Chain A
Amino acid sequence: MKTLMAFLTAAVLSATASAQQVAIVGAKVFTQTEQGVLESATVLIRDGKIERVTEGTEVPAGYRQYDASGKVVTPGLIGALTSLGLVEVASWAGTVDATAEPTPISKTGAALDVSYALNPDSTVIGVSRIEGFTAAATTLSDTHQLFNGQGAVITLGTGAPLIKPKAFMVVNVGSQGADGFGGSRAALWVALEQALQEASEGRVPGPESPWYGMNTRADLKALKGVIAGETVLYMEADRVADIRQVIAFKQRHPGLKLALLRATEGWRIADELAASKIPVVLNPQMNLPGNFDQLGATMENAARLEAAGVVMAIGMDTHNIRLATQHAGNAVANGLSHEGAIASLTSAPASILGVADQIGALAPGMRADLVVWSGDPLEITETAEQVFINGEPIEMTSRQSRLRDRYMKLYETTGNPSSHYIRP
């Protein structure tokens, strides 16, 4: 709230200023467009969209001005893989829409659709929003079936959440996927091919036609989106052998749009990944041999993938997706370029998810989702000072900051108050 008030105070409201025209003035701006990084620039916003980014600090008449000199501006960050809006408390505290038990509607998990399950009031969204995350890919984390349902790209603003429904679908093709499907990749991959084969054959049979496939009719409809390349298939794998299978899969199915999840040993075949144009979503901190799929884990994975030309998004978490900036910064400490790290949080996930025309860059006509940072966004001691979503400065409070303020006030109180829960 404090920051919002500061913004309103700082705003120069001329008689002609439209509430819908905002200028953010003087920051170092990461545009994530061909304009690159501008050392001192002005971002002009009109009607919730980016109007343009200009070098220098000149502002045309009629704009509310926000002084951001000495600050850094980036596009709003995008959580590359989360369950935001689908989970409030993960364990033993009520319904978690991010996990599902098998039901008759789906036999392969493809049909499940998170679009129906999103809760914009989730405190996890509020907590993430004030740390610079303005959008996220969100999906189920477990369906006990082959596919983890249809994930969506959502805005973390307070309005209607969907930016792109049915944006992507996760399938684990590593040990975890095999363990959930007969205990062997020898079963898993045949099932995956069969599931897609069924979906690629003609129309989805109506209720009058008998159907004995491994998918339900609802699964087939969902997989049609994958076949058409409209729903990105996120293939989760760690070890080289599995990643090679993903590359071979892409060659068998050139029409599918694929991304690789985790890719812990991806660096070992980075050139092949780059050549097959498969982007990667990862957590660059994974450097332990957590199982036999991850023996080659190294903090340099991100840097080595970048050097080979692989497009990469960083950020896999839900309650603490806000730590993706630290993860990306640690990847920089281990060789990733700084610009590559900023891209991994903004333009790269937007392009992987097929929403690069709307979010992830400060290009004319795109959603005016952006963040004014106190300094380098990847530096752990810096912070998001003001977040804009749809061109509007958001209130920079969350349930967490409210709890902090409540208890800091308690300690400031002299004497021994009987209860601080009573509102004045």
Chain B
Amino acid sequence: MKHTPSRVAVLAACALSMLLPGCSDNDAKQPSQAEKFSIDSNPYPSTYQPIPGSPTVITNVTIIDGIGNQIEQGMIHFANGKIVALGDNIEIPNGATVIDGKGKWVTPGIIDNHSHLGVYPSPSVGSTADGNEMVSPVTPGVWAEHSVWVQDAGFSRSLAGGVTTLQVLPGSGNLFGGRSVVLKNIPNRTMQAMKFPDAPYGMKMACGENPKRVYGQKGGPMTRMGNVKGYRKAWSDAQDYLRQWERYEADYDAGLNPKPPKRDLDLETLAGVLTGDIRVNMHCYRADEMVTMMDLMKEFNYQITTFHHAVEAYKIADKLKDNNVCAAMWADWWGFKLEAYDGILENVPMVHAAGACAIVHSDDDLGIQRLNQEAAKTWADGKRAGIDISMADAWQWISANPAKSLGIFDQTGSLEAGKNADIVLWNGNPFSTYTKAERVYIDGGLAYDLNDSISWPVSDFEVGQPTEGDAK
């Protein structure tokens, strides 16, 4: 993410010296230019620091590498936060911690690309309901990171379930719900300390029933066609806004002294999508609506990264593949509203089998604790329906594919030499009801140890309560 001087910095410089060119009100002194105005694209930067680790080798363990391979009786070596090597037989360096993985499994850390931890935290009360800015259908200018409450106990529970990275999204009440934030799942004092360094921003959009239910009696949209008009108007405005900035840049670069356009925080996020810097996460259930949204993205020349929930993705899996759009799905949620009525158990494997990018997401503070089981259920259902997918391939639904959707697959999401050591050691086959995450490493540091209660994170909210530190 590029760092550019902020508006505030420019003003401060002017306050110090009215003699500097560009600080004078008198623009008649052409051709001298005002200092070029640019926008800080990273004003709330990550302060994440990995927890210290030590060189470690896990031996004699079943490894799923997250890119389709399963190694029996394998070994994996990680050090200095990175994966060094994995395979049947690798060298064990002097001084490394060696863990016997007999009967156990190693996988990439789980990545949930749809969570509301922190913005709809526990306790779930009015005071903490910070996920849905339902005052206007178009609020792309709000950022989920400004709502994240780091004392949500849900972070530590999902860590115990092997989640190493998660995307926290605004809710789906609005057509444009705001920006998402990608977090490393190491509970800490501040959101910035959890923020995944340099992960691209995402933006939430929502199809269908929610926006029209929320705004139908509040000035609209009150129909699905109203929803689409709302998206089109916003994208059209964003195109115009982007042109203003492009003109400013061009004029400035041509030696002119143009006045910068007035900043608009909503359009700024939308413009970020149009320039390809911000990734679109669109809540959409129905197949026909998803196809309309893919036409919309072509009309305005942007890319939808992922449809979220996508309960009917199985009906249009071929079109998802053709348009390079991922579908993030539940294993078995259905029926809570009409647009979720056609849910089937084989949605995920059917999308995978069509060659599209399938993701299992949680959208839930309990489901995020067992995404391995969510993947296992739908994998088994697919298998019974004749869709033959290996466990190693299925694991991509909860690591590699969400990492790709978030734009961080170059760093995490699979076990490959040089990547971040985001690793889970399971005490058995993670496709079983009875298996638990035994050790969870993030950037090579041991973030959770099932067998060491001292390692279990306790949020401030839980301190001093009658059952602080209990097994959860």
Contacts and interface: CB of A to CB of B under 8 A. Distances in A.
Interface of A: 88-93, 123-124, 127, 265, 268, 285-292, 294-300, 319-320, 322-323, 326, 329-330, 332-334, 378-383, 400-401, 403-404, 407-408, 411
5 contacts: A89-B337, A268-B467, A332-B434, A408-B386, A411-B354
> Would you call the interface of chain A mostly helix, strand, loop, or mixed?
loop
Interface of B: 122-125, 153-154, 157, 209, 213, 314-315, 317-318, 332-338, 341-346, 350, 353-354, 365-366, 369-370, 373, 376-377, 379-381, 384-386, 431-436, 461-462, 465-467, 470-472
Contacts of A404: 314, 344-346, 350, 385
Given A299-B471, A330-B433, A404-B385, A291 B344 contact: no
Given A89-B335, A288-B157, A400-B343, A296 B366 contact: no
Contacts of A88: 335
A410 to B, nearest CB: 8
A136 to B, nearest CB: 15
Nearest to A401: B344
Contact of B153 (A91, A92, A265, A289): A289
A243 to B, nearest CB: 13
Contacts of A265: 467
A265 B466 CA distance: 11
Nearest to B431: A381
A295 B376 CA distance: 30
B153 A380 contact: no
B386 to A, nearest CB: 8
B370 A330 contact: yes
Contact of B434 (A290, A291, A322, A333): A333
Contacts of B386: 408
Given A289-B122, A380-B431, 5 more contacts: A287-B157, A295-B466, A320-B333, A320-B334, A380-B376
Contacts of A288: 122, 153-154, 157, 365-366
Q: Which of A265, A332, A378, A408 has the most CB of B within 10 A?
A: A408
Given A333-B433, A404-B385, A298 B344 contact: no
Contacts of A89: 335-338, 341
Contacts of A401: 344
B123 A408 contact: no
Nearest to A289: B122
B380 A320 contact: no
A40 to B, nearest CB: 24
Given A333-B433, A383-B384, A411 B470 contact: no
A300 B462 CA distance: 17
Given A288-B153, A290-B122, A408-B350, A380 B373 contact: yes
A400 B431 contact: no
A74 B239 CA distance: 62
Closest 9 CB pairs of A and B: A329-B433, A381-B380, A319-B335, A296-B467, A93-B338, A91-B337, A288-B122, A333-B434, A404-B344
Q: Which of B154, B209, B343, B471 has the most CB of A within 10 A?
A: B471
A108 to B, nearest CB: 27
A400 B344 contact: yes
B377 A298 contact: no
Contacts of B461: 289
B209 A92 contact: yes
A90 B336 contact: yes
Nearest to A292: B123
Contacts of A333: 433-436
Given A93-B337, A124-B335, A326-B377, A400 B470 contact: no
A332 B213 CA distance: 41
A146 B301 CA distance: 55
Contacts of B373: 326, 330, 380
B432 A381 contact: yes
Contacts of B334: 127, 319-320, 400
A217 B436 CA distance: 54
Contact of B314 (A93, A268, A407): A407
Given A329-B434, A333-B435, A411-B317, A298 B470 contact: yes
B70 to A, nearest CB: 16
Contacts of B434: 329, 332-333, 379
Contacts of A382: 380
A291 B433 contact: no
Contacts of A378: 433
A329 B370 CA distance: 12
A382 B332 CA distance: 15
A294 B369 CA distance: 18
A351 B376 CA distance: 33
A319 B336 contact: yes
A332 B433 contact: yes
Contact of B433 (A322, A326, A383): A326
A327 B124 CA distance: 22
A379 B433 contact: yes
B455 to A, nearest CB: 17
Contacts of A323: 332
A265 B465 CA distance: 13
B123 A290 contact: yes
Given A90-B337, A289-B122, A400-B345, A381 B472 contact: no
B83 to A, nearest CB: 28
A300 B471 contact: yes
A333 B461 CA distance: 27
A92 B123 contact: no
Contacts of B381: 383
B197 to A, nearest CB: 28
Given A90-B335, A298-B470, A400-B345, A289 B462 contact: yes
Contacts of A91: 209, 336-338
A380 B123 contact: no
Contacts of A127: 334
B8 to A, nearest CB: 39
A326 B471 CA distance: 20
B313 to A, nearest CB: 10
Contacts of A290: 122-124
Given A289-B123, A289-B462, A299-B471, A403 B342 contact: yes
B351 to A, nearest CB: 11
Contact of A379 (B317, B346, B432): B432
